[in-house]
Structure 1
Amino acid sequence: MIIDNRGGGLDMNVIPAWREGITGRGVVVTILDDGLETDHPDLVANYVSHHFSHHLFLNKEYFIIMTCVVDT
């Protein structure tokens, strides 16, 4: 199933946290996923990936590790 999440309404309601001055600046987030939409406008400028498909210890054929540094 493909879900188009580029429209409105699928946000995390972070505006109240931003109003309190909580931005996440300097936080590093790492995601291990096999279906990451790496060309999504929210991610494309800020991700680094490494493909682990050649490692035998993983149960799936293809994984992406995405590391994103929050800079706002």
Structure 2
Amino acid sequence: MAGGGSKAGIVHGSSDEVGMAVGEDRVHVHDFHATILHLLGLNHEELTFRHAGRDYRLTDVHGHEVENVIA
């Protein structure tokens, strides 16, 4: 994500003391994909592909950009 419009050196969220669970600021994979697509200049809500006669999106019907990491 470096050079794509993300903030330099940012750490988003944390894990617990063991590193097995999310401590704070959980980000779902759909939100992560939406953020990457936004940084690439693509609208994740309009990016669809057809499979088996149905339109699919990478972020399904979920996903929001994580504004904290966008510069």
Q: Indicate the TM-score class for this superposition, using the shorter chain for normalisation.
A: under 0.3
More helix by share: 2
> What TM-score, normalized to structure 1?
0.23
> What TM-score, normalized to structure 2?
0.23
Larger Rg: 1
